[in-house]
């Protein structure tokens, strides 16, 4: 069976490696993870070969490691679990596209980068967010296409940029799912869903969040769940 519960061999492999530190696992462990979802060994090994050929994975002596692009995704995932924020003084980061000619690939790369940086698009070519995240240098894909501005909107644009009620409702559903997860397969799926959801957290300052925001609660509950789950999963993989 190639997939069950909507999980493909490729998704199982990626989720397993993204959740591993360092992101390296032997083929036999990835096969055992696939087996949790009824994915045949041959299907997992074919997926591994295709992912190596596509540049998603590196393979050495039977060990599979994430490529640099996916290591960067794992770093963003880790950051979403333990975000680096700073006190907010009311300033917003604003990036306005000012490059006159942009190839479709450059447009797509900018959109991907802005989303990863947790900026939202107010209108086409205008991206912004509160300046409460600890930042390094802006990526070249941004500086090459945009003019960067620090500003203070006269009216709070938060409701136009993020569906906070929707994010909060899903976070609460995932908290219940963590509490009720039974077995390795269900725990694996819930864990992956929580990590995806945390990546979508805009990480806004408290001043802009609705009362009872569940972000910190979901992180704390996931950390406790993950510690227990990893112990059980490692026992299974060694068995």
Cα 229 to Cα 208: distance, rounded to the nearest angstrom: 34
User: How far is CA 6 from its chain centroid?
Assistant: 19
> What was the pLDDT predicted at 3?
46
- What is the edge-to-edge ordering of all strands in the sheet holding 57-60? 24-26, 63-66, 57-60
- Is 164-238 CATH 3.20.20.140? no
Cα 143 to Cα 148: distance, rounded to the nearest angstrom: 8
Handedness of CA 46, 49, 54, 56 (dihedral sign): positive
> What was the pLDDT predicted at 5?
54
**Residues paired with residue 95 on neighbouring β-strands, in sequence order:** 127, 148
pLDDT tens per residue across span 15-31:
999 999 999 999 999 99
Q: Which residue in this structure is represented by tokens 């500086």?
A: 143
Q: Up-side HSE of residue 82: CA atoms within 13 Å toward CB?
A: 4
Cα 132 to Cα 175: distance, rounded to the nearest angstrom: 26
Q: Which fold has domain 9-72?
A: Arc Repressor Mutant, subunit A (1.10.10)
- How is residue 144 written in tokens? 């090459």
For the entire predicted model, the pTM comes to: 0.90
pLDDT tens per residue across span 85-129:
999 999 999 999 999 989 999 999 999 999 999 999 999 999 999
Cα 85 to Cα 26: distance, rounded to the nearest angstrom: 36
Residue 151, C-beta contacts closer than 8 angstroms, at least 6 positions apart:
91, 92, 94, 128
Domain ranges of the chain: 9-72, 92-151, 164-238
> For residue 233, which of 33, 17, 15 has the smallest C-alpha distance?
33
Q: What is the dihedral angle through the alpha carbons of 136, 149, 117, 83, rounded to the nearest 10 degrees?
A: 60
When pLDDT is cut at 50, 70 and 90, the band that residue 48 belongs to is very high
> What was the pLDDT predicted at 6?
61
Contact 16, 65 (CB under 8 A): no
When pLDDT is cut at 50, 70 and 90, the band that residue 2 belongs to is very low
């Amino acid at each position: 069976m190639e997939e069950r519960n909507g999980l493909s061999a490729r998704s199982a492999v990626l989720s397993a490696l993204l959740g591993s530190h360092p992101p390296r696992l032997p083929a036999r462990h990835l096969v055992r993870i696939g087996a949790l979802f009824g994915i045949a060994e041959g299907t997992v090994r074919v997926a591994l070969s295709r992912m190596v050929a596509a540049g998603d994975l590196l393979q050495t002596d039977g060990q599979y490691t994430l490529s640099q692009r996916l290591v960067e995704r794992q770093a963003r995932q880790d950051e979403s679990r333990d975000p680096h924020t700073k006190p907010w003084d009311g300033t917003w980061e604003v990036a306005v596209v000012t490059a006159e000619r942009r190839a479709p690939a450059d447009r797509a790369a900018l959109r991907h980068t802005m989303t990863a940086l947790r900026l939202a698009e107010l209108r086409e070519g205008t991206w912004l967010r509160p300046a409460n995240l600890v930042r390094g240098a802006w990526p070249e894909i941004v500086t090459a296409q945009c003019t960067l501005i620090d500003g203070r909107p006269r009216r709070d644009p938060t409701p136009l940029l993020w569906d906070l009620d929707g994010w909060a409702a899903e976070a609460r559903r995932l908290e219940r799912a963590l509490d009720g997860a039974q077995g390795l397969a269900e725990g694996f799926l819930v864990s992956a869903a929580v990590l995806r959801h945390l990546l979508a957290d805009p990480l806004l300052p408290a001043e802009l969040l609705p009362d009872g925001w569940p972000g910190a609660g979901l992180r704390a509950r996931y950390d406790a769940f993950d510690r227990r789950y990893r112990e059980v999963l490692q026992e299974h993989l060694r068995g």
